[in-house]
Amino acid sequence: MASLSFLSSYLILLSASFGVLAKGQLDPCFYDKVCPQALPTIKSIVEDAIKQEARMGASLLRLHFHDCFVNGCDGSILLDDTPTFTGEKNAAPNINSVRGFEVIDRIKSAVDSVCGGYVVSCADIVAVAARDSVVALGGPSYKMQLGRRDARTASQAAANNSIPAPTFDFARLLSNFESHGLSMQDLVLLSGAHTLGFARCTTFRGRLYNESCTLDSSLATSLKSICPLQTGVGDNNLSPLDGTPAKFDTVYYDWLLQRKGLLHSDQQLYKGDGSGSDGLVKYYSQNAGAFWEDFGSAMLRMGALSPLTGSNGEIRMNCRTVN
């Protein structure tokens, strides 16, 4: 009886939301009528997860980035591999790196409960959780566009080819972002998400031991104590991406000006010769208010990459598997 009641509630909610779905457009008010408790529920669980582990905020933000850069913001990154299906979790940029899936599972279960059915997509949960993580760690809020639906497939090959690597030079970074319809300013702004979180030794070892001319010597000395030269030793040891890894601020840009970018791709944004994105890095280092406002706008542009809307895709019952 309980399952029949849940199904009946779901069908009623689905009918109520059909008019919005049919438009095939994202809307910040998408869930206001069909499930007004959806967003407060996501916010509460994200805040709780970050209280338990501050690093989780950066992980949830990164999860959204890695989802959107592979065939759009469609929740494909959440799908588990099966004997007949290969997803994106074990792609090179994601394996032993992308995390937060258990938090998404918790959110999905809670949201389905308060909504009385399968109303909120996993893709929207990832997007909102990223925004709420930024806010929980002291950053700006922004009106997330909603109404994404979930992909029925995923592509490990696309994940390997579409997500920019920490070894990329500036030209390749810019080319990657432009291939997604994003600009150089978006590149600098979205890279600013590295004001939160940590990176593994394996992602910065090459810079640490091969780029002494562009890496602050005192930082290099401290990094070598946690990241040995030998591959396979300490690969998963962590170092913060800036000096305040649990606070959303502009220290990331300050560090780039001081040659303290942890990743090769980070320091490529500021070379100190006035080329490329040097001017933007300086600007956001000195103008926190502008960074706050522009970061939110860049997140909205990324969040609008090729969403599935209308009758495309599905609303998954379990974020890890297709229906």
Q: Is 194 labeled as ligand-binding?
A: yes
pLDDT for 210? 98
Q: Is 249 labeled as ligand-binding?
A: yes
pLDDT for 95? 94
The per-residue pLDDT for range 206-237, each reduced to its tens digit, is: 999 999 999 999 999 999 999 999 999 999 99
The one-letter code for the residue type at 196 is L
Q: Is 67 labeled as ligand-binding?
A: yes
pLDDT for 84? 86
Q: How do 198-200 and 238-240 pair as beta strands?
A: antiparallel
- 22 has a pLDDT exceeding 90: no
Name the catalytic one among 64, 66, 180, 264.
66
Told to judge if 64 belongs to the known catalytic residues of this protein, a careful annotator would answer no
The per-residue pLDDT for range 96-115, each reduced to its tens digit, is: 999 999 999 999 999 999 99
- 8 has a pLDDT exceeding 90: no
- 93 has a pLDDT exceeding 70: yes
Q: Is 70 labeled as ligand-binding?
A: yes
- 14 has a pLDDT exceeding 70: no
The per-residue pLDDT for range 245-301, each reduced to its tens digit, is: 999 999 999 999 999 999 999 999 999 999 999 999 999 999 999 999 999 999 999
Q: How far apart are CA 143 and CA 29, in angstroms?
A: 9
pLDDT for 276? 95
The per-residue pLDDT for range 28-85, each reduced to its tens digit, is: 999 999 999 999 999 999 999 999 999 999 999 999 999 999 999 999 999 999 888 8
pLDDT for 85? 87
- 183 has a pLDDT exceeding 70: yes
- 243 has a pLDDT exceeding 90: yes
Instruction: Provide CB contacts within 8 A for 30, sequence distance 6+.
Output: 20, 124, 146, 147
- 3 has a pLDDT exceeding 80: no
3-state per-residue secondary structure call for the chain: CHHHHHHHHHHHHHHHHHHHHHHCCCECCCCCCCCCCHHHHHHHHHHHHHHHCCHHHHHHHHHHHHHHCCCCCCCHHHCCCECCECCCCCCCCCCCCCCCHHHHHHHHHHHHHHHCCCCCCHHHHHHHHHHHHHHHCCCCCCCCCECCEECCCCCHHHHHHHCCCCCCCHHHHHHHHHHCCCCHHHHHHHHHHHHECEEEHHHHHHHHHHCHHHCCHHHHHHHHCCCCCCCCCCCCCEEECCCCCECCCCHHHHHHHCCCCCCHHHHCCCCCCCCCCHHHHHHHHHCHHHHHHHHHHHHHHHHCCCCECCCCCECCCECCECC
- 89 has a pLDDT exceeding 80: yes
Q: Is 72 labeled as ligand-binding?
A: yes
- 242 has a pLDDT exceeding 60: yes
- What is the distance in angstroms between the CA of the first residue and the CA of the last residue of the chain? 21
Q: How far apart are CA 97 and CA 87, in angstroms?
A: 15
Which residues in 230-243 are b (16+ Cβ under 10 Å) and which e?
eeeebeebebbbbe
CA 127 to chain centre: 8
Percent share of the chain, pLDDT over 90: 91
Would you say 263 and 76 are in contact if contact means Cβ atoms under 8 Å apart? no
Q: Is 242 labeled as ligand-binding?
A: yes
